[in-house]
């Protein structure tokens, strides 16, 4: 073991799970010492902890030096146990301190809000927070504004949280003042009806107000519209102030091709990724879109458009609309 080249040892470790690491540490004193002080954890970029991976938590707790772990998923973990480790384990705290990405995605275990913010306080380098499809988190009646600020967090994924309200959204945004990437897919935005809905519904007006206020820093945006809203009208309202740094935009809703042309003109070659859930074509077909893409989307690297052609057109007309050169 003492004569085994480090490069070979790295290759062996690269094929082992965290559970295997724990077992390997027990095979000899030399391996235990080497793993416990091993600084080359760089090949482990992502760790997922769940109720079945307590050995992973134990490893993070017992290892004296951990480097290179930049993503941690805590979906469905025992958050009380994690809190205890953060209070008692220096190495565990060190792991949280260097994280770049933290995920609670699709968790069905409710975390107390105070514990949630306490966990974040250990993540000094955190840039991305994933709360997607974490519906129970936003059902809490104790959801309140947090006095702590987390300036390092720049990417926030809230996809699928249909219980997210204006009130909860505003509380989160106060704690995360430097968001550059905001994901709100599968949360059908409705129009504001009355003040009592601020704690039950996420409204377009609230999101629009936020985007307009911080338009200068938004780089990525994904958004969904309720079927009761006109995407064409709301999109024009949303971008009264043009987010000049926006490079990624995904809209889930029915959009007329004329509105998309206007949108491309506004952003004048800034976009790199554009995804449109349902694009409604008219008698002009795709030709104007192709022309606009050539002129106003020269930096576009990815385009995904789902066509929605009026059903009253004949099969021949639909074919010509899709492929105008045929």
Question: In this predicted model, what pLDDT tens digit does every residue of 245-258 receive, in sequence order?
Answer: 999 999 998 888 88
Residue 130 lies in a domain: yes
Q: Domain range spanning residue 60?
A: 46-322
In this structure, the dihedral spanned by the alpha carbons of residues 99, 101, 106 and 109, taken in order and rounded to 10 degrees, is 30
In a domain, 192, yes or no: yes
Note the pLDDT of residue 159.
96
What was the pLDDT predicted at 321? 43
Instruction: Give every CB contact of residue 98 below 8 A, 6+ residues apart in sequence.
Output: 66, 67, 69, 70, 125
Helix orientation angle between 166-175 and 204-213, rounded to the nearest 10 degrees: 20
**Residue 105 sits in a domain of what CATH number?**
3.80.10
Residue 15 lies in a domain: no
Residue 39 belongs to a domain: no
Q: Kindly state whether residue 32 falls inside one of the protein's structural domains.
A: no
* Beta-bridge partners for 278: 254
The reported pTM is 0.76
Answer for the pair 164, 200: CB distance below 8 angstroms, yes or no.
no
> Is 275 among the domain residues?
yes
Number of domains in the chain: 1
DSSP bridge partners of 280 = 256, 308
Residue 37 lies in a domain: no
Residue 165 is assigned to a structural domain of this protein: yes
- Confirm if 251 and 236 have CB atoms less than 8 A apart: no
Confidence category of residue 295, pLDDT binned at 50, 70, 90: confident
pLDDT tens for each residue of 130-139: 999 987 787 6
Confidence grade of residue 110 (pLDDT, cut at 50, 70, 90): confident
> Of 3-17, 138-152, 159-173, where does mean pLDDT reach its minimum?
3-17
Q: Take residue 222 and report the two structure tokens written for it.
A: 């994904």
The secondary structure of 251-314 as a DSSP string is EEEEEEHHHHHHHHHHHTT--SEEEEEEEE--TTTTHHHHHHHHHH-TT--EEEEEEE--TTS-
């Amino acid at each position: 073991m003492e004569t085994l080249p480090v490069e070979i040892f790295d290759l062996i470790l690269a094929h082992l799970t965290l559970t295997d690491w724990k077992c390997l540490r027990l095979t000899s004193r030399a391996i235990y010492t080497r793993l416990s002080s091993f600084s080359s954890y760089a090949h482990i970029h992502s760790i997922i902890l769940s109720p079945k991976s307590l050995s992973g938590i134990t490893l993070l707790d017992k290892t004296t030096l951990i480097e290179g772990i930049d993503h941690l998923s805590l979906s469905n973990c025992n958050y009380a146990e994690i809190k205890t480790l953060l209070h008692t384990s220096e190495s565990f705290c060190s792991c949280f301190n260097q994280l770049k990405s933290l995920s609670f995605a699709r968790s069905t275990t409710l975390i107390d809000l105070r514990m949630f913010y306490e966990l974040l306080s250990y993540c000094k380098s955190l840039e991305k927070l994933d709360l997607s499809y974490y519906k129970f988190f936003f059902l809490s009646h104790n959801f309140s504004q947090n006095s702590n600020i987390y300036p390092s967090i720049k990417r926030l994924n809230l996809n699928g949280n249909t219980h997210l309200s204006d009130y909860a959204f505003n509380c989160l945004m106060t704690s995360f003042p430097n968001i550059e990437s905001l994901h709100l897919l599968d949360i059908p935005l409705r129009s504001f009806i009355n003040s009592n809905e601020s704690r039950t519904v996420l409204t377009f007006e609230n999101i629009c107000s936020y985007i307009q206020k911080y338009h200068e820093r938004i780089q990525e945006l994904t958004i969904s519209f309720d079927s009761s809203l006109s995407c064409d009208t709301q999109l024009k309202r949303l971008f009264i102030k043009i987010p000049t740094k926006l490079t990624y935009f995904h809209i889930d809703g029915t959009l007329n091709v004329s509105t998309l042309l206007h949108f491309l003109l506004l952003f004048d070659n800034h976009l790199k990724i554009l995804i449109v859930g349902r694009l409604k074509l008219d008698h002009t077909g795709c030709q104007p879109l192709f022309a606009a893409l050539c002129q106003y989307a020269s930096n576009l690297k990815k385009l995904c458009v789902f066509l929605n052609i009026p059903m009253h057109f004949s099969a021949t007309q639909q074919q010509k609309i899709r492929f105008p050169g045929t």
